[in-house]
């Protein structure tokens, strides 16, 4: 059951990411929904699930892009593992700690992804920190809102079921 939910979250994020990226003018989205899904899975299920979700999501995302296959998978798997490990060690149940977690994960992912590209001599990034900062804030807002919706969903469903029961 947990594996199906993780795969569903990753598939939904990949579908939304590719759809939204084509709708934007530059062809690239300022929010990495796949990274948001990986961090959310890691925070909800732990470091191993986060690492596996990051690996699968990153490899699929790499295969859909023109870059080297594996760099995004490695970066997302490391971030998924670290987010899950930090989530197990600290209480991240309110909005501010989750916001900071998504910001930190986005910055660490960007540093790891760009660092690997520069280290391998594939690409250079002249001054990416403004874009990274805006993506970090965007990812954090989306992540916190997604967590709030996911946590509220069971209560809404239960209240809806209770409202349908015949009174008598």
- What is the full DSSP assignment across 38-72? HHHHHHHH-HHHHHHHHHHHHHHHHHHSSS-TTHH
What sign does the dihedral 74-101-82-119 (CA atoms) show?
positive
pLDDT of the residue at 24: 61
Which CATH architecture fits 2-164?
Orthogonal Bundle (1.10)
Domain boundaries, the chain: 2-164
Could you list the pLDDT tens digit for every one of the 168 residues in the chain? 678 888 888 999 988 888 876 666 454 558 899 999 999 999 999 999 999 999 999 999 999 888 789 999 999 999 999 999 999 999 888 999 999 999 999 999 999 999 999 999 998 888 888 999 999 999 999 999 999 998 888 877 777 888 776 665
What pLDDT shows up at residue 78? Answer: 98
17: its two tokens: 């990411």
């Amino acid at each position: 059951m947990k594996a199906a939910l993780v795969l569903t979250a990753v598939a939904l994020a990949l579908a939304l990411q590719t759809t939204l990226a084509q709708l934007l003018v530059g062809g690239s989205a300022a929010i990495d929904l796949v990274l948001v899904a990986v961090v959310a899975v890691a925070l909800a299920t732990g470091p191993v699930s986060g690492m596996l979700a990051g690996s699968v999501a990153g490899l699929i995302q790499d295969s859909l892009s023109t870059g080297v296959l594996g760099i995004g998978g490695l970066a997302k798997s490391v971030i998924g593992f670290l987010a899950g490990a930090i989530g197990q060690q600290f209480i991240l149940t309110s909005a501010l700690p989750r916001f900071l977690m998504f910001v930190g994960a986005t910055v660490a992912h960007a540093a790891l992804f760009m660092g690997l590209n520069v280290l391998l001599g594939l690409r250079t990034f002249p001054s990416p920190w403004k874009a990274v900062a805006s993506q970090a804030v965007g990812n954090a807002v989306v992540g916190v809102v997604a967590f709030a919706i996911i946590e509220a969903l069971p209560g809404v469903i239960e209240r809806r079921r209770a409202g349908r029961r015949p009174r008598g």
